[in-house]
Structure 1
Amino acid sequence: MNLTPISVTFDIGDGRIVTIETGKLARQADGAVTVRLGNCILLATVVAAKTPKPGQSFFPLTVDYQEKFASAGRIPGSFFKREGKLSDYEVLNSRLIDRALRPLFPDDYFCEVQVLVTLISSDPEVMPDALACLAASAALAVSDVPIQEIISEVRVARIDGQLVINPNRTPLEKADMDFIIGATEKNIMMVEGESKECSEEDIIKAIEVAHEAIRVQVKAQEELRAKAGVGGKREFEKPYANEELKAKIAAFAQERILAVAKSASAKHDRSDAFDKISEELVEHLGELPEEDAPLVGKYFHSLEKEVIRNMILDQSVRLDGRSLDQVRPLNMETDILPSPHGSALFTRGETQSLTTVTLGTPDDELLIESAATSKYTKFILHYNFPPFSTGEVKPMRGPGRREVGHGNLAMRSLKQMMPGSEYAYTVRVVSDILESNGSSSMATVCAGSLALMDAGVPLPKHVSGVAMGLISRASDGKWAVLTDILGDEDHLGDMDFKVTGTRDGICGIQMDIKVDGLSMDVMRKALEQARNGRLHIIDAMYTAMPAARPEPKPHAPRMEKLIIDREFIGAVIGPGGKVIQEIQRETGTNINIEEVGETGEVSIFSAQKEGLMKALEWIKGIVAVPEIGETYESTVKSVMPYGAFVEFLPGKQGLLHISEVSWKRLETMEGVLTEGEKVKVKLVGTDPKTGKFKLSRRVLMPKPEGYVERPEGDRGDRGDRGDRGDRGDRGDRGDRGGRPPFRGDRNDRGGDRGGDRGDRRGPRDSGDRGDRGGDRGQRFTPPAEPETPQEPMFDEE
């Protein structure tokens, strides 16, 4: 058994080496390779059926990209703990490979082909998507499956002003341009990516740099194929053809098709007219041999395509009567739905998008998970394409790969104008296509921009999009670029080139080529024509919605953000989340706290402004630092004989001593204050030892006439007497000397001292003496005689 691998290597810059290897893994596949960069290893396999299925009339290519969680040393989080259906990220990567490979197969090759690319080892810094198409193409290169050319893909990003090929994940986060380019040695085949308002020339330069890197990778694949000793490509059974029948169909239907194509009729009218010609053709041909019957429809549609393409190239006439660079009629409305937080209806010809925007909290963020990374996003866009939009009957089975791809392009385009991380809302945009006759993804971008501004999302600029098409003729080299293509023009054309952006630059591109490739001259023409169409649409969008609403609609969640010191985060959350849960429950809000450096960002959400402000003040109180001399609205928490404990800030309480309740001397607190009562108090000081707060109510009240201040030094301000603690056994009086004569007999002290005081010689816990109150000196009655000590102001126990 020979498991010796065959490999080639090449450098992609900065000393990073890519290795392509074959001959060791998956040897029963028609072609199998591994591609390695760092610790990232991809296994690509290709298997093709030897013959097409009976009646097969199209090329059945299946491409699947999948990441194994084991490649990153992880176990899937699903219930069954195994990989399931492809994630959106895997679907998007599968589409990148499919769109690049599909044009490489012969037009008459109908055998089923399956390409599988699997991530078997991941590297947190290496992006596997740019290597996946290289792996798939290399697997085809070392197989005998018939492809016409070798292809590859690279990522090109502009980081700090420099174009970098296949950058690592961390520096890629700083890029203002991020594109994946697919190309053969000679021609560009696929472009996909996003940018922050880059110019058309920036895009051209990036594509040229990427193409140079791709040529190196194509050469490496050819070297690997030669080392592996792969012979020629397999022969395949070509479908049955009847040139005589084809000529008869052309003679009967060509002029009829041209007449309908030049009538500038609506989509369904045009389709019905073509169907009528097809029915007449069948009657004209009469009974045909069994093997010829399936060819009639095939040849008729081929003729239809040829006639329309020649009409566009030779007469510059399009199916709906427009010129080559003309955009269809536009109609836009915003705020058309009462309950969504934002809404817009965008209609361009026979394509229509109803788009809504919902504002949510950080708890609504979307988890995007792959084998190597997991991250959350606050901006979500979903694109729906129901069958009624094209007048068809189809089962509703959830979004397909096309819906995922179109939604991703719209999301990446609008994301360039979305506010940054300081914007606390999670935003979900949903585009429902109600009519479709081409460019529905671009209608989603336009409707999404309008709906976001209608929702009060602070987009600085509108983003629009337009789909460009290409018609080319190999016989004479003639070509034409079409602006805002119809569905039929997309079907019969050679290119679908979508460009999105603002007035100042490009935000997103998605290009698919159906022929051998695209020259740079055609690319420049398409970009320039797309710019003109984009600006025309943006002008109409600014007329419909000049700027974003200054704030969300009344029924949308309100949001306030508060920056607090990091040390207060625990106080706001409380033990086990008790405090924050109470705030949310009592105010009907949703609160999110995120630690950012030395601060905490508190985001408060509520549908009701009253609850929002209540929660905001609550949290401000928790983090507030009490200031001496400030007045606070407090709540009585408990009433004692000597005063009341009040909460003057959330979580902060102090004693309002009986002597500070009123200028009038109070003998009891009964009936003066009650639990739950709101009273204004002033913070007059804090105990330097215990830090307890000294509060006064009376200083906020007018002083009564005739009030006499107690002379200074007569008892005076006793302040905070501290915690006297356990005074212990005070021993026999004999040990302490005689009692001063003026103190009198202890049994004749007079007055009620507040109940049975027990044996004074035993252990005595006098409690916390720190809350004895403030100034005890003012009295309306003269002091008692020395031999009859005065009754204390309050029960000391």
Structure 2
Amino acid sequence: MLHAKQWSIEWGGRTLTVEVGKFALQANASCTVRYGDTTILATVVKSKTIRDGIDYFPLMTDFEEKLYAAGKIKGSRFMKREGRPSDEAILTARLVDRAIRPLFDERVRNDIQVITTALSVDGENDASTVALLAASFVLSISSIPWDGPMGAARVGMDENGEFILNVTTSQLEANKKLDLLVAGNPDKLVMVEAGANEVSEEVFFKAMKWGCEQTAPIIEFIKKIQAEVGQAKEEIISTDDVETIGDQVKRVAEKFIADNAETLIFNSPKVSKDERKKMIEEIESALAEYLTVQGFEEVVQKKVLSEVKYLISVQITKRILDKDQRLDGRKITEIRELQNEVDLLPRVHGSAMFMRGDTQVLSVVTLGAPGDVQTLDSMEEDGKKRYMHHYNDTPFTYGEAGPLRGPGRRAIGHGALAERALEPVLPDETDFPYAIRVVSEVMGSNGSSSMASTCGSTLSLMAAGVPIKKSVAGIAMGLASDAGSNKGNVTKWKVLTDLQDVEDGPGGMDFKIAGTVDGITAVQMDTKTNGLTWDLVEQTVKQSREARLQILGVMANLIAEPRAELSPYAPRIETVLINPEKIKDLIGPGGKNINKIVDETGAKIDIEQDGRVLITSSDGEQMKLAIKMVKDCTREVEAGEEFDGKVVRLEDFGAFVELLPGKDGLVHVSEIAWERVNKPSDVLKMGDIVKVKVKEIDNLGRVNLSMKILKPRPEGFVAQDPAPRSMGGGQGGRGGFSGGNNNRGGDRKPGFFKKRD
């Protein structure tokens, strides 16, 4: 029998409900968290045994999207069940990971898996925020050691500049000034993910602090539930003899590197990654020789040799804290050398290279038709996505060899961050209706390739002639602190501008901030501490602005504003305005008319409900032809106009001639020639191109044509009475006049301008 318990609290104007003991009872701990009608199931499981041969904490986090949660069935005709995680699910899983990981004891070697599953989403209360809260709840009541609880809050801003707690989807659509997700507590910041529309550093800092302050009731709520149903926390115990010997050799190695740091590490500035690699190899060799002399066997040495980079980073952190000295000789506020270039690739629509130190990114722009936008059909997202940024890295990016695979979680996360950074400066769709795709190929990575992708995207878009409103640049801020030797607590620290490889040591952070000269557009932060104090965060935000402005200045020296013209290889888009009631005539029966235009011109055509027809083509002549055909499909035929039309149907009483796509008229047998014609088929055949003139459009909308009126009247011609016209179908009747080429039978319906079936 289930023994479920439930607790509720009012928070942010809505009810937050937690239930324990209802689902997933075989997990170490489980709970459901409901906020509004968004409901998340959180589970955590720890393996019974330690995973052998690893020197890291094996945490796995996953976010499971269930389409039923949003009342959806997958759009694919062939696959209706959920497949691989969507980008949105991956981004949410990364959010949870970055928020909870710093609060675990890094000595844990058991596999731990935290899964958050969306059971219900209401479209207003963001599932990722609830997933963060659910992860905090479930870890707090589990037996797994975890230095929580933490809270999470989503912060928005109204038109008056007031902060909104747990901003809803509707509120964000009304005001997109700020979308900020924070995790932590009133005293410390653990994780940040944000998009903003040029929010000032001062306001952004206040928003982060305000959001964390709002988590106080939630943290107390978690502690209350933990006291009632929480399990006793396990102890991390290591009794294995090899582990004890490993601890001994690690202490010996630490002392050796510390004693010889001046000659092995700081004997000269190590500017390039190759220099630092060589340094690490030399230290490994010297350490192995020393450990052998000290009597440690090779099997024991292997474990500590795999941690040499970590031991070096400890010394680098200490040197920065004590002397403000960085390994490559830079000051703590100094950026590595910047190199930029545009127009590297001859046939693409726009390209740029951005290089900062050893980090190098090639960004390439492709412009497409409005119909090339991405269709969104995930659990929480619907609609279209016009701007796409895709981040690619390969083994050679890191100087390694390995198999090529699709984009991993890291690549998807980095791509999304750079995409978010540029969104506020994109041109309005009405002014620039192109679909825009930027691909950032990471040619070398050594510190913040995502921010390099942001800079590269800006340069390539301007080179392509995309009229972005302002340039965007980004920088990664690092941290040297004593948290690594102080159980995660930061008491002594220095903020580092432009973080790179070995500087990302114990007690560090990766605080990425992107924006324009006028404010922040995107932020992402994770840390190796148990939280950043507010004085540290404030210093980071201020220091990042100085670096960003410097980078923007260098970028402006290369290209200060978007080019006035698009690449000659980029397609052009022309807009034709038609009466919305004529859209059906343009499309035609079963898409016949629109498909004909596309087939004959190669143009892409997108039709908006307001009557805008967007024609995309890279060929100027084909563009003109497509425009003419669109206008022909939707314009009115007037009496007195002349056409070169095609004979599309022959009857005993006359010939039907196509004037415009989907529109035809009748040349009565008496109007074919001045001489008497017994049957139209005597002088005409299907497919003939004939010159005709519109005599009249009768009160039923039928178009009456004449061929003979365009020919000279023979001398001595005497008019004869024409044969009587039957209005019915069948022999002698003018049937199917508005019925189109595919069904030219039956009575003639009123209304010439209706589409042909």
- Asked if these proteins are the same fold (TM beyond 0.5), I'd say yes
SS at match of 1:94: helix
Which one-letter code corresponds to 1:278 in the other structure? E
What displacement does 1:647 show?
5.2
SS, match of residue 500 in structure 1: strand
Q: Which residue of 1 aligns with 2:274?
A: 268
Q: Does the alignment pair 1:454 with 2:463?
A: yes
**Where do 1:297-696 residues align within 5 Å?**
297=305, 300-422=308-430, 423-473=432-482, 477-491=491-505, 494-595=508-609, 599-627=610-638, 634-635=644-645, 637=647, 649-654=660-665, 686-688=697-699, 690-692=701-703
**Deviation readout 1:4-39 (Å, 9 max, x if unpaired):** 22232222223x101112123222322211101233
- Does the CA contact (< 8 Å) of 2:388 and 2:436 recur in 1? yes
Aligned match of 2:127: 128
Q: CA deviation at 1:433?
A: 0.7
- Match in the other structure for 1:223: 224
Q: Residue 338 of structure 1: CA displacement?
A: 1.7
Preserved CA contact (<8 Å) 2:288 2:305: no
- Distance in 2 between the 1:583 and 1:68 partners? 41
| 1:66 aligned residue (61, 64, 67) | 64
Which residue number corresponds to residue 744 of structure 1?
none
Evaluate the alpha carbon distance shift between residue 117 and residue 299 of structure 1 in structure 2; reply closer, same or farther with a 3 A threshold: closer
Distance 1:387 1:302 in 2: 22
- Is the contact made by 2:593 and 2:661 (CA closer than 8 Å) also made in structure 1? no
- Per-residue CA deviation, residues 188-225 of structure 1 (Å, 9 max, x unaligned), is 01111211111112212221221122222111110110
Kept in 2, the 8 Å contact 1:332–1:345? The answer is yes
Q: 1:280 to 1:694 in 2, by over 3 A?
A: same
CA–CA distance in structure 1, aligned partners of residues 258 and 134 of structure 2: 47
1:13 is matched with 12
Q: Which moved more, 1:136-145 or 1:211-220?
A: 211-220
Aligned to 2:163: 163
Number of the residue aligned with 1:255: 262
* 2:52 paired with 1:54: yes
Question: What residue is the counterpart of 1:733 in the other structure?
Answer: none
Deviation at 1:374, TM superposition (A): 3.5
- Cα 1:72–1:303, aligned 2, differ >3 Å: closer, same or farther? closer
Instruction: Name the SS for the 2:215 alignment partner.
Output: helix
Aligned-pair CA distance for 1:766 = 6.7
Give the Cα separation in 2 of the matches to 1:548 and 1:563. 28
1:234-289, CA deviations, whole angstroms, 9 ceiling, x for partnerless residues? Answer: 343375322762564146422223424x4243211122123212211221232534
Q: What is the rounded CA distance, in whole Å, between the counterparts of 1:675 and 1:143 in structure 2? A: 80
In structure 2, what residue type is equivalent to 1:450? L
Superposition deviation, residue 143 in structure 1: 1.1
Match of 2:173 in 1: 173
Q: What SS does structure 2 have at the residue aligned with 1:434? A: strand
CA distance in 2, matches of 1:765, 1:680: 24
Match of 2:740 in 1: none
Partners of 1:22 and 1:129 lie apart in 2 by 20
| 1-structure distance, mates of 2:109, 2:470 | 47
Q: Which runs of 5+ in 2 are unaligned?
A: 738-757
Q: Deviations over 1:416-470 (max 9, x none)?
A: 2223343433222111111111111111111112222223322122211111112
Distance 1:666 1:267, change over 3 A: same
Q: Number of residue pairs matched? A: 715
Indicate the residue corresponding to 2:746 in structure 1.
none
d(CA) in 2 for partners of 1:444 and 1:497?
16
Distance, in Å, in 2 between the alignment partners of 1:652 and 1:764 is: 21
Take 1:640 and 1:50, find their aligned partners in 2: how far apart are those partners? Answer: 87
Percent of paired sites with the same residue = 36
CA distance in 1, matches of 2:651, 2:146: 92
Using a 3 Å threshold, how does the CA distance of structure 1 residues 591 and 10 change in structure 2: closer, same or farther?
same
CA RMSD of aligned residues (A): 3.7
Structure-2 change in CA distance of 1:66 and 1:641 (3 Å):
closer
SS in 2 for 1:584: helix
Counterpart AA for 2:238: E
Q: Secondary structure at the match of 1:621?
A: helix
CA drift at 1:57 = 1.6
Asked if 1:279 corresponds to 2:285, the answer is: yes
Work out whether residues 197 and 507 of structure 1, in 8 Å CA contact, stay in contact via their aligned partners in 2. yes
**Deviation string for 1:359-405 (max 9, x for gaps)?**
22344332333334443312222111111122111222222111111
CA distance in 1, matches of 2:533, 2:362: 36
Task: Tell me the distance in 1 between the aligned counterparts of 2:686 and 2:233.
Answer: 98
Residues 142 and 571 (structure 1), Cα distance of their counterparts in 2 relative to 1, 3 Å cut: same
Q: Distance in 2 between matches of 1:249 and 1:675?
A: 93
1:453 and 1:549 in contact (8 A); partners too: yes
Amino acid corresponding to residue 282 of structure 1 in structure 2: A
Q: Counterparts of 1:59 and 1:508 in 2: how far apart (Å)?
A: 29
Q: Cα 1:251–1:338, aligned 2, differ >3 Å: closer, same or farther?
A: closer
Aligned partners of 2:600 and 2:251: how far apart in 1?
83
With over 3 angstroms needed to count, the CA separation of the structure-2 counterparts of 1:50 and 1:623, relative to structure 1, is same
Cα deviation for residue 480 of structure 1 reads: 1.8
Partner of 1:236: 237
| TM-superposed deviation, 1:673 | 13
Counterparts in 2 of 1:637 and 1:454: CA distance versus 1, 3 Å: farther
2:184 is aligned with 1:183: yes
Instruction: Tell me how far apart the structure 1 counterparts of residues 507 and 347 of structure 2 sit (CA, whole Å).
Output: 41
Provide, for residues 463-488 of structure 1, a one-character-per-residue CA deviation record: whole Å limited to 9, x for no partner: 11111112123689332222222222
- Given the superposition, is the C-alpha separation of residues 675 and 82 from structure 1 closer, same or farther in structure 2, using an over 3 Å criterion? closer
Q: Computing the radius of gyration over CA atoms, which structure comes out larger, 1 or 2?
A: 1
Whole-angstrom CA distance in 2 between matches of 1:534 and 1:361: 33
